[in-house]
Amino acid sequence: MSKPQGLYPQPDCGVKLSCGVKRALDTVPNLGSNPPGPGQHWVKSTCPLDCFDSCSLRVEVRQGRVERVSGDPEHPLTRGFICSKGRRWRERLYSPQRVLQPLRRFGSTWQPVSWEEALGWVAARLEEILAVSGPLAVLHVAGDGSGGLLHDLDRRFFRALGGLTQPEGSLCWGSGLAAQVYDFGANRAHFWEDLLHARTIVLWGRNPSETNIHLVPFLRQAHTAGARIISVNPQRIRLEGLDALHIQPRPGTDGALALGVIRALARQGGLDEAFIQQHVLGAERVLQEAERHDAAAVERITGVDGAAVEFLATAYGRQRPTATLFGYGMQRYVNGGNTVRAIDALAALSGNVGVAGSGANYADRSWRQVLYPLSGPDIPAQVRTIPFSRLGEGILEQRDPPIRAIFVTRANPVTQVPDTSRVMAAFRKAELSVVIDHFLTDTAQAADLFLPCTTVLEEEDIVISSWNPYGGYVWPAVPPQGGARRELDIFTDLARRMGVLDRFGEADATGWLARALAPAEPYGVTLERFRQEGTVASPLAQPVAWQDGRFATPSGKVELVSVKAKEETGSAWARYSPPAVAGQGQGLVLITPHVAHRLHSQYFNLEPEGTAPRLPHLRLHPHTAARLGLVRGEKVEVSTSQGSLHAFLQLDPSVHPETAVLPEGHWLSSGGGVNLLTPALIPDMGLGTPFYDVRCQVRPAGHGNEKK
């Protein structure tokens, strides 16, 4: 057998940093760099999970089986270590829970069926629906379960069929993305290495110890070199070994805080007049808006006192360069887009944009600009959309035609979309529902047909990050397990059966990847280079975003006043308006954040308890629990306007006293399903999803059932 390319060890397999930034963290130990033993080889891969880090993986294969997955020591961010989820790719690959044959539902039971039968049945049902109701009767929901470029072929298939109904917007980061497009014209972030130039680093609503562990060594190194670390977050986040300062606003009020800091900045003489003059449109308008947010107003709205506001103003105005690292928690409210615009304005007015060590770092989407999207936007198709945050209700509301078929790929909408009850009702109403996944998730359990697909360890692909400049190659480590098929093969087969293969296109993995990379070729980015180097930086990403001072907005400046924003949102500049919770009376704000050991609902079933029912853990501040007469470990009922669920109570002084914290991702079928509690709201911009904009009541479980 010839030795495939891409195996370690290989000459010159190290990462080329095309940016010239010095590799700064040479002190991190190189784990897993031993040479492979006899009968064993290493395969280069890239974690496709929807995470800031997009780690470069080394997959050790012995006698055709994956033995170990570890972090690539050569990658500038992974640096030889990975999280528990990355390590458990092996466990996931071989999990006895994995489904390796198509399953069709008959009544309340699943029956294994052949691929021939499964795809034949789907094709026939789809043809009938298309003939009678047209393509808009078919809804395709794609999530971010895998970030591999080839996985975008799922969307292409439905376009090739002539059209579809699809969700619009984002469950994730939509409001902030739109905000930054108004302000800067595009989403660009500094390289992580650039943090070493910062004097202040502000983690604004971001929790790297849970969601972004590869950032932590950079924070540590910057801190050791003298940078001050500030967290703005209702929760006091865990930052071990870092002497961080914590500012804890009430949830959903960061916009008022940022405007208050801008006012204080102006009074302290901290505005960067030269930068404003040259690069900012609308500074006066925002400064005028900020005048409404004096210290007393800010304290009333946010609970943050005047001293902390002054302190933040000094951090941005005098202790600069100041790098702002946005998380997405603070934009999961109806006012989330304006919140991000207000923080962008603070960064721009203090001259913390376009300079080393600074930046309003929200996302970096420069890779997308140099790739051909395999999702096929160039294939003419009829498209109808439903806002993602209102998916359940949106499906139920559709007429002319109603939604008759639902296809789900890379997503678990029953668990992850707001208002689970309505999402479930929508699935019940559809005549045909098909889920492609690895496991029988909550969504799969609501479907008629389950099609098992391969994992990253069984595929060739390329994964690009939207949060750091790198893209990574995925070399197949082992052949597809059992009857699992690559999504590429599933959709090619379906396209052939339905007579649309000419519109879909026919190629193998290599052919499709080459096609995706074609526009990047003039920059020297080719499939061959991905195979050779393993990790490639986006040719458009800059170590210091916007350093040339040419912003991608219509005026070429930072548009704090934006005509487009005015047209699309009603306000040209950032304004503070209260979150929805402000109008919801008493109760605690329910924050449902992400946790380190899961990736949303993924890996929940690989926890030691498997899929056995268990209660989620709700965290309250001890004072809040005392006020409500609740004790640690007690079984409580958490209820909102949408629904209720049971949880065990944990006490945690790092939680804001006006909030309750219940992590997302716990499966509905195992006693969780936090989105039973979340409302389907439309935010101020970008069709994001205001998951945290809801109040809850917490009482002893059984309360109200005691009459009998």
Ligand X SMILES: Nc1nc2c(c(=O)[nH]1)N[C@H]1C(S)=C(S)[C@@H](COP(=O)(O)OP(=O)(O)OC[C@H]3O[C@@H](n4cnc5c(=O)[nH]c(N)nc54)[C@H](O)[C@@H]3O)O[C@H]1N2
Interface positions with ligand X (CB under 6 A) = 50-52, 143-146, 151, 171-173, 204-207, 210-212, 232-235, 237, 249, 251-252, 254, 327-330, 409-413, 416, 436-439, 441, 453, 487, 591-596, 598-602, 664, 674-675, 678, 691-692
Please provide residue 148's backbone torsions phi and psi, each rounded to the nearest 5 degrees. Answer: -70, 140
Q: Least separation, in Å, of the C-beta of 412 and ligand X?
A: 4
Nearer to ligand X, 279 or 365 (CB): 365
For the CA atoms of 558, 564, 568, 574, the dihedral, rounded to the nearest 10 degrees, stands at 30
From residue 112, give the alpha-carbon distance in Å to each of 117, 483, 487: 10, 11, 19
Among 55-63, 166-174, 280-288, 344-352, which window interacts with Mo ion (CB under 5 A)? 166-174
Nearer to ligand X, 238 or 496 (CB): 238
Strand residue runs (E) in 83-126: 103-106, 109-112
Q: Is 49 in the site for Mo ion (CB under 5 A)?
A: no
Structural tokens at position 53: 């880090």
Among 172-180, 284-292, 542-550, 573-581, which window interacts with Mo ion (CB under 5 A)? 172-180
Q: Is 572 in the site for Mo ion (CB under 5 A)?
A: no
Report the partner that residue 696 touches, choosing among Mo ion, ligand X, none (CB closer than 5 to 8 A by kind). Answer: none
Q: What is the DSSP string of 666-689?
A: --GGGT--GGGS------SSTT--
Report the partner that residue 308 touches, choosing among Mo ion, ligand X, none (CB closer than 5 to 8 A by kind). Answer: none
Q: Of all helices (H) and strands (E), which one includes residue 345?
A: helix 336-349
Contact 492, 511 (CB under 8 A): no
Q: Is 51 in the site for Mo ion (CB under 5 A)?
A: no
Q: Least separation, in Å, of the C-beta of 4 and ligand X?
A: 21
Q: Least separation, in Å, of the C-beta of 284 and ligand X?
A: 27
Pattern 259-278, Mo ion, x by CB under 5 A? --------------------
Nearer to ligand X, 355 or 477 (CB): 477
Write down the residue that tokens 């993986």 correspond to: 57
Select the residue whose beta carbon is closest to Mo ion and give its number: 172
Nearer to ligand X, 215 or 348 (CB): 215
The closest of 237, 259, 260 to 248, measured between CA atoms, is 237
State the Cα–Cα distance between residues 38 and 530, nearest whole angstrom: 27
Bridge-based pairing of strands 617-620 and 644-651 is parallel
Q: Least separation, in Å, of the C-beta of 187 and Mo ion?
A: 14
Nearer to ligand X, 51 or 130 (CB): 51
Nearer to ligand X, 151 or 422 (CB): 151
Nearer to ligand X, 172 or 565 (CB): 172
Nearer to ligand X, 170 or 562 (CB): 170
Contact 236, 246 (CB under 8 A): yes
Q: Of all helices (H) and strands (E), which one includes residue 122?
A: helix 115-133
From residue 122, give the alpha-carbon distance in Å to each of 102, 142, 407, 662: 12, 18, 10, 38
Nearer to Mo ion, 200 or 235 (CB): 235
- Coil, helix or strand for 43? strand
Nearer to Mo ion, 172 or 520 (CB): 172
Q: Least separation, in Å, of the C-beta of 175 and Mo ion?
A: 12
Among 171-179, 471-479, 510-518, 577-585, which window interacts with Mo ion (CB under 5 A)? 171-179
Nearer to ligand X, 145 or 317 (CB): 145
Select the residue whose beta carbon is closest to ligand X and give its number: 329
**Can you give the three-state secondary structure of 152-187, one letter per residue?**
HHHHHHHHHCCEEEEEECCCCCHHHHHHHHHHHCCC
Contact 434, 408 (CB under 8 A): yes
Report the partner that residue 692 touches, choosing among ligand X, Mo ion, none (CB closer than 5 to 8 A by kind). Answer: ligand X
Q: Least separation, in Å, of the C-beta of 112 and Mo ion?
A: 34
Other CB atoms closer than 10 Å to residue 202's CB: what's the count?
A: 27
Other CB atoms closer than 10 Å to residue 125's CB: what's the count?
A: 17
* Distinct helix (H) and strand (E) counts, the chain: 24, 28
Q: Figure out which of the listed residues 49, 103, 142, 172 binds Mo ion, where binding follows CB under 5 A.
A: 172
Q: Least separation, in Å, of the C-beta of 637 and Mo ion?
A: 28
Among 97-105, 169-177, 582-590, 651-659, which window interacts with Mo ion (CB under 5 A)? 169-177
The size of the interface with Mo ion (CB under 5 A), counted in residues, is: 1
Contact 254, 576 (CB under 8 A): no
Q: Least separation, in Å, of the C-beta of 578 and Mo ion?
A: 24
Q: Least separation, in Å, of the C-beta of 555 and ligand X?
A: 29
Q: Least separation, in Å, of the C-beta of 307 and ligand X?
A: 18
State the Cα–Cα distance between residues 199 and 419, nearest whole angstrom: 43
Q: Least separation, in Å, of the C-beta of 466 and ligand X?
A: 10
Bridge-based pairing of strands 245-247 and 228-232 is parallel
For binding to Mo ion (CB under 5 A), which residues are involved?
172
